[in-house]
Amino acid sequence: MITLAQLNQKMARARVVSIDGDDEISQRIMEMGVIPGVEVVYLGSALFGDPLEIELRGYRLSLRKKEAQRVSIEPLPAAGTSGA
Amino acid sequence: MSPIAQHSDTLSIALIGNPNTGKSTIFNALAGVRARTGNYPGVTVEKKVATLTVDGQRLSLIDLPGTYSLAPRSPDEMVAVDVLLGRRADTPPVQAVVCIVDASNLERNLYLVSQVLELGLPTVLALNMMDVARERGIVIQIEELEKRLGVKVVPVQANRRVGIDALKKAMAQVGEMAPPQRISPFPQAFQDEVRELEEALAAKSFAERPPRFLIERLILDTSGYLQQELLHLGEGRQEGEQEIAERLKAARARLAEAGMPVPAVEAIARYGWVSETLSGVVQRPEQVTDTFTDRLDRVLTHRVWGTLIFAALMVIVFQAVFSWAGPLMDLIDGGIGSLGEWVAAHMDEGPLQSLLVDGVIAGVGGVLVFLPQIFILFFFIGLLEDCGYMARAAFLMDRLMSWVGLSGKSFIPLLSSFACAIPGVMATRVIENRRDRLTTILVAPLMSCSARLPVYTLLIAAFVPERTVAGVFGLQGLVMVSMYFLGIITAVIVAFALKKTLLKGETPPFVMELPSYKLPSLSLWPFNWLLYPLQKRRDPEAQMGPALGTVWHRMVERGWAFIYRAGTLILAVSIVVWAALYYPHNADVSHLEDQIAELETKLESTAEGTPEFEAIEQQIASIENQIAGEYQRTSYLGRIGHAIEPVVKPLGWDWRIGSAAVASFPAREVVVATLSVIFNQSSDVDVEDEEQRGQLTAAMQDATWEGTDRPLFTLPVALSIMVFFALCAQCAATLAVIKRETNSWFWPLFTFTYMTTLAYLAAFATYQIGTMFSA
């Protein structure tokens, strides 16, 4: 399964499929709007590739790779080619 | 007369909102200077309240901490929920809520709104940052939004004070509004579980019957915190508690079975409601525009450029802190010195004069000197926060800090502590996780602050030879740098140990919003008059900025909080140490006084301005210094020094160094003055001044163990003193601030104990190892 932690420049857009876990961390991720069906865009990462910066619901969110691994995604075609 | 004016009672209104929505700007705009801050007992949450009158209606405002969700998992997070539900005895029940949301980011902000609406309180929605939304081409149908939410919606642009009056009016009238009629966003199966649990709880005689909102939360909270908090039946009724716990488990299992696992069911239900509510109400532009934030972030959070820019920025900030603070500190220092001299000249010699001059003025002045640094640091921290860069700093530094078990949010507080631990400790408020925040607070005083510099400078110049090592590095510089590294490395070890023992727990999530960049609010009253006509020309709707922009407001608020809270403690400690150094004041100095009298007669017969005249004057000054030294050596503190000599001897110190170290517990920088007096020099030494430092240096180099001619200060002794000062908690102001921020005496005492113990052991090791090598 592909996770949010694997997003990169080439595979920048994706749709969230599921979030693992029922602890505080998963709850926090979901409260911030990362729930199944939502679209996310990879914006970049800090030094050594961690944490990640993504965009969703019109705002920017940063999370660590370890946390992003809980989020399963399906990649979407890049913005330019998706059509209306 | 308007109908509102008939209300004479105070209406209690809570302000709530996500972080980065400009909530504090709105609070300040509403409350002005009437805000009061305090603490809720038992937690580290700050309580901010204010009262104001609008159209004859008295309003009492209570500012709740910024949060993304009302899902309490700790006592700190519980405060907001308890205040909103009227469950706190120390806070009057809230009668209405103002929910502040970011208009440019409605989707995520409405998550919290959906929780607030379920509290059943009349609510006003303040739609802040309308300008940012407009810039992004976001169109919001406000009337339609009001209709769908069932609450009053007020568009606001708090940084320019647009819409504040309308918000005040809406708040004054909120008491007459019906609470919003809410249909729960949760699926039927979940609501059935809630009803069943409610009935089961009603059957048991709990001390209180939790409101529906908390019953929902009981099912949703998998951390076990709420269960522990809410379900007490008292002694001998454990099986009743057990039964409810079993019920909760079963309910969660049934929900998971039905495809609605806890806690995901909440996020899915609420975001579903948000999409429904916003559909057709908010239009975003089809073509996504490249915003200011997009362009900036491409550089500022870039893994290479972003990190480099951050490093450069920090260098500039520190440069500014030291170069701007320097002249101001000299000014304050000079002012305090002149005040002391003036008081000394206008009062009779005696205990009262000494108390005022050497106790109160010198003690409080010693802290006031650091105010420029503290205020300038608060200014930069406020600036970085207000423009949105603080979150980027945390983002860039997270990886580095996660090696120590902390998060990126601890970086700026720790960095600030290199100038002064006080703003550092106060800047930890951005860290939501209690354990991370405490760890950061407890290690912040280990960073070598600017007050340690005079100690390092004095001892290095006096006892570390000027040599180059490996051809390029000066030995003196190396020793200085290693003192800084000693603090850093110790902090890393202590933080690591704390996270493994006392503050053990799961790594908290680092799921953080990176807010949009905005121009920091730097408006300042006199300049508003100049700028206002220009702004009006650009934007006819513009109103005059607040008298004090958010950045200034925060700087003043935090700086004042420090003076106010720490001031009394510092004063008390200064007086105690003064008394210990002054009394019993019964040393036998008659032979020295006779000498002075003799010299003074000689002086009268000498022509003024001649070299002999000056020589006699110098002799008198030197004897006066000897008298002061004699009194200090025989003072209670001097005796304590004698008494503790066996304790400090393994560090290579004699009783004089011991008493100087003890005297500098309220504020470490006084050690220079204390050493100076003990070694018969004037107490007024400036270590930056070569000549003044030279005299003290010479006196220290000549000092021997009493009764022998073995030199007192050797390189290992000097190093052992520096190591002690690098690690010891010799700052009453920092401890006072830790007390304030943690709202407990335990943590400042803990800090004091662990740092002093570490300092002792490290100084001991330094001296013993140093002696081994030099022998």
Q: How far apart are CA B739 and CA B183, in angstroms?
A: 45
- Best of A17, A18, A24 to disrupt the B interface (most B CBs within 10 Å) is A24
CA quadruple B306, B309, B314, B318: dihedral, nearest 10: -170
Token output for B296: 């900036």
Average pLDDT for residues B459-481, to the nearest whole number?
85
Which residue type occupies B176? E
Contact present, A56 and A38 (Cβ < 8 Å):
yes
Contact present, B396 and B510 (Cβ < 8 Å):
no
Which of B257-292 are b and which e, b meaning 16 or more Cβ less than 10 Å from the residue's Cβ? eeebbbbbbbbbbbbbbbeebbeebbeeeeeeeebe
Contact present, B669 and B420 (Cβ < 8 Å):
no
**Strand, coil or helix: B437:** helix
CA distance A52 to chain B (A): 8
A with B: how many residue pairs have Cβ under 8 Å apart? 132
Using the predicted structure, report yes or no on whether residue B334 has a pLDDT greater than 80.
yes
Average pLDDT for residues B608-614, to the nearest whole number?
83
pLDDT tens for B564-579 read 777 777 788 888 888 8
Confirm or reject contact between A67 and chain B (CB < 8 A): yes
What's residue B494's pLDDT? 96
The pTM of the full predicted model, rounded to 2 decimals, is 0.85
DSSP letter for each residue of chain A: --BGGG--SSS-EEEEEEE---SHHHHHHHHTT--TT-EEEEEEE-GGG-SEEEEETTEEEEE-HHHHTTEEEEEE--GGGS--
Chain A residues with beta carbon closer than 8 angstroms to that of B293: 60
Contact present, B111 and B68 (Cβ < 8 Å):
yes
Instruction: Give a yes or no: residue A60 inside a domain.
Output: yes
Q: Where would I find the H helices in B635-745?
A: 636-643, 645-648, 655-663, 671-678, 690-702, 715-727, 732-742
Q: What is the DSSP letter of B358?
A: I
Average pLDDT for residues B356-369, to the nearest whole number?
82
Higher pLDDT residue, A75 or B774? A75
Peptide bond into B122 cis (omega under 30): no
Q: How far apart are CA B399 and CA A49, in angstroms?
A: 9
pLDDT tens for B737-751 read 999 899 899 999 999
Confirm or reject contact between A49 and chain B (CB < 8 A): yes
Tell me the backbone φ, ψ of residue B728, rounded to 5 degrees. Answer: -85, 150
Contact B107 A60 (CB under 8 A): no
What's residue B4's pLDDT? 40
Tell me which of A69-83, B389-403, B627-641 is least confident. Answer: A69-83
Chain B residues with beta carbon closer than 8 angstroms to that of A59: 105, 107-108, 513-516
Instruction: Give a yes or no: residue A83 inside a domain.
Output: no
CATH code for residues B3-176: 3.40.50.300
Contact B395 A46 (CB under 8 A): yes
Contact present, B380 and B522 (Cβ < 8 Å):
no
Q: How far apart are CA B294 and CA B516, in angstroms?
A: 9
What does DSSP say about strands A52-56 and A39-45: parallel, antiparallel, or unpaired?
antiparallel
Chain A residues with beta carbon closer than 8 angstroms to that of B73: 24
Q: How far apart are CA B347 and CA B344, in angstroms?
A: 6
Higher pLDDT residue, B567 or B289? B567
What's residue B83's pLDDT? 95
CB atoms within 10 A of CB B223: 17
What's residue B406's pLDDT? 92
What's residue B203's pLDDT? 81
Average pLDDT for residues B533-560, to the nearest whole number?
77
Using the predicted structure, report yes or no on whether residue B8 has a pLDDT greater than 70.
no
Instruction: Give a yes or no: residue A28 inside a domain.
Output: yes
For residue B398, give the nearest of A26, A46, A60 by CB distance: A46
What's residue B558's pLDDT? 84
Domain that holds residue A44: 4-76
Q: How confident is the model at residue B126 (pLDDT cuts 50, 70, 90)?
A: very high
Which residue type occupies B327? P
Average pLDDT for residues B88-107, to the nearest whole number?
93
Query: What is the predicted ipTM?
Result: 0.93
DSSP letter for each residue of B655-676: HHHHHHHHHTSSBGGGHHHHHH
What does DSSP say about strands B46-54 and B36-39: parallel, antiparallel, or unpaired?
antiparallel
CA distance A68 to chain B (A): 9
Q: Element (H or E) spanning B37, and its range?
A: strand B36-39
Average pLDDT for residues B712-729, to the nearest whole number?
94
Using the predicted structure, report yes or no on whether residue B685 has a pLDDT greater than 80.
no
Nearest chain A residue to B268 by CA distance is A35
Nearest chain A residue to B275 by CA distance is A57
* Rg of chain A taking only CA atoms, in angstroms: 12
DSSP letter for each residue of B444-460: GGGS--GGGHHHHHHHH
Kindly provide the residue ranges of all beta strands, DSSP E only, lying in B270-369, ordered along the sequence: 282-283
What's residue B1's pLDDT? 38
Q: Measuring CA to CA, which residue among B485, B496, B113, B447 is closest to residue B271? A: B113
pLDDT tens for B668-679 read 888 888 888 778
Q: Measuring CA to CA, which residue among B446, B454, B448, B444 is closest to residue B481? A: B448
Average pLDDT for residues B696-714, to the nearest whole number?
87
Cα angle: B152, vertex B158, B162; to 5 degrees: 75
Q: How far apart are CA A24 and CA A31, in angstroms?
A: 10
For residue A45, give the nearest of B267, B293, B303 by CB distance: B303
Residue reference for tokens 């069943």: B196
Average pLDDT for residues B496-503, to the nearest whole number?
92
Contact present, B515 and B20 (Cβ < 8 Å):
yes
Sequence-separated (6 or more) residues with CB below 8 Å from residue B28: B35, B546, B548, B550, B553
CA distance A60 to chain B (A): 5
Chain A residues with beta carbon closer than 8 angstroms to that of B515: 59-60
| Residue spans per domain, chain B | 3-176, 188-259, 305-448
Rank A15-19, B322-326, B532-536 by mean pLDDT and report only the highest. A15-19
Q: What is the DSSP letter of B704?
A: B
Contact B301 A28 (CB under 8 A): no
What does DSSP say about strands B152-155 and B123-128: parallel, antiparallel, or unpaired?
parallel
CA distance B690 to chain A (A): 44
What's residue A80's pLDDT? 53
Chain A residues with beta carbon closer than 8 angstroms to that of B391: 62
Q: How far apart are CA B204 and CA B207, in angstroms?
A: 9
Tell me which of B135-144, B580-589, B644-653 is least confident. Answer: B580-589
What's residue B523's pLDDT? 78
Confirm or reject contact between A58 and chain B (CB < 8 A): yes
Arithmetic mean of pLDDT over chain B? 87
Contact present, B719 and B772 (Cβ < 8 Å):
no
Q: How far apart are CA B495 and CA B500, in angstroms?
A: 9
Contact B71 A49 (CB under 8 A): no
Contact present, A67 and A31 (Cβ < 8 Å):
no
What's residue A84's pLDDT? 37
CA distance B105 to chain A (A): 6
Average pLDDT for residues B301-310, to the nearest whole number?
92
Q: What is the DSSP letter of B356?
A: I
Residue reference for tokens 């004042």: B560
- Best of A9, A22, A42 to disrupt the B interface (most B CBs within 10 Å) is A22
CATH number at residue A56: 2.30.30.90
Contact A63 B105 (CB under 8 A): no
- Best of B73, B395, B406 to disrupt the A interface (most A CBs within 10 Å) is B395
Considering its fold, how many domains does chain A have in total?
A: 1
Instruction: Tell me the C-alpha to C-alpha distance, in Å, between residue B748 and each of B559, B724, B739.
Output: 20, 19, 6
